[in-house]
Amino acid sequence: MWPLAGIAVVVIGFAAGLNPLIVIVLAAAVTGTAAGIAPLHLLALLGRAYNDSRYVSIVWLVLPVIGLLEREGLQERARALVARARVVTAGRLLVLYLVVRQISAGLGLLSLFGHAQTVRPLIAPMAEGAAESRYGPLREDTRALVRAYAASADNVGAFFGEDIFVAVGSILLIRAFLRQNGIDVAPLALSLWAMPTAVLAFVVHGLRLWRLDAKLRRRAGGGPR
């Protein structure tokens, strides 16, 4: 029963308001020692557990960092930067982001971009700034339209790009489904056949993003300023 002493450490530590990380480590040390685990082996187990789940900490660290950057004016700086570049339009910017997002997803770098870390703080404000520099202040519905197109560029790029990477969960899911129905397909074959679909998705949605400028022009009631 001595290994259960770690539970008492957790209860006491949380009741005392101690740092949760310290409490958990102490509870693990007490439980491991009571179970007869050598100190070095216990330390190795803690290190392996942290290494296997470290992505959780990285993901949750992204949100406060992005929030802090937004509080310090990241969106305003991004909007102003694009507004000074007259050659950049909302449609062209989003097509470029679609290319980058799809290529990075095809290489397995799904977490490199995304709604929280890229679209909301950077891409959407930059697209809004490009539209405002050409057509003046945007109405709320037009601003929402630009943001929706920015989000769609990320969705399409990630969804159709990730299947190109052979070691992704969706490839394994497709292979398992086909195998259940008596069709045995190698993951590499699925990855190769995902490429034409990704190219077609890029062409279709790229044209929609390219036509965004014309839609914004009609909503503004004329050409650029």
**22-38 confidence digits (pLDDT tens):** 888 888 888 888 888 88
User: Tens digit of pLDDT per residue, the chain (225 long)?
Assistant: 777 788 888 888 888 888 877 888 888 888 888 888 888 887 787 777 666 655 555 556 666 666 666 666 766 777 777 766 777 899 999 999 999 999 999 888 888 888 888 898 889 988 998 898 888 888 999 999 999 999 999 999 999 998 888 777 777 788 888 888 888 888 888 888 889 999 999 999 999 999 999 999 888 765 555
Q: Are residues 90 and 153 in the same domain?
A: yes
How far apart, in whole angstroms, are the C-alpha atoms of residue 87 and residue 20?
52
How far apart, in whole angstroms, are the C-alpha atoms of residue 90 and residue 128?
7
Distance of CA 52 to the CA centre of its chain: 20
Taking Cα atoms as reference points, which of 21, 18, 8, 122 lies closest to residue 66? 122
Q: Are residues 104 and 14 in the same domain?
A: no
Residues with Cβ < 8 Å from 40, sequence gap 6 or more? none
How far apart, in whole angstroms, are the C-alpha atoms of residue 47 and residue 142?
50
Q: Are residues 164 and 104 in the same domain?
A: yes
Tell me, yes or no, whether 225 lies in a domain: no
3-state secondary structure of 223: coil
* pLDDT score for 70: 64
How far apart, in whole angstroms, are the C-alpha atoms of residue 194 and residue 183?
17
Q: Are residues 97 and 185 in the same domain?
A: yes
Tell me, yes or no, whether 192 lies in a domain: yes
* pLDDT score for 14: 82
Tell me, yes or no, whether 160 lies in a domain: yes
Tell me, yes or no, whether 57 lies in a domain: no
Q: DSSP code of 24? A: H
Q: Are residues 123 and 14 in the same domain?
A: no
Q: Are residues 101 and 160 in the same domain?
A: yes
Tell me, yes or no, whether 58 lies in a domain: no
* pLDDT score for 83: 66
Q: Are residues 67 and 48 in the same domain?
A: no
Domain count, the chain: 2
Q: Are residues 108 and 35 in the same domain?
A: no
Q: Residue type for 50, please?
A: Y
Q: DSSP code of 136? A: -
* pLDDT score for 69: 64
Q: Are residues 76 and 166 in the same domain?
A: yes
Q: Are residues 29 and 71 in the same domain?
A: no
Distance of CA 214 to the CA centre of its chain: 29
Q: Are residues 20 and 89 in the same domain?
A: no
Does the reported pTM lie above 0.75? no
* pLDDT score for 156: 95
Tell me, yes or no, whether 191 lies in a domain: yes
**Where in the sequence is the domain holding 26, given as residue range(s)?**
2-52
Q: Are residues 8 and 88 in the same domain?
A: no
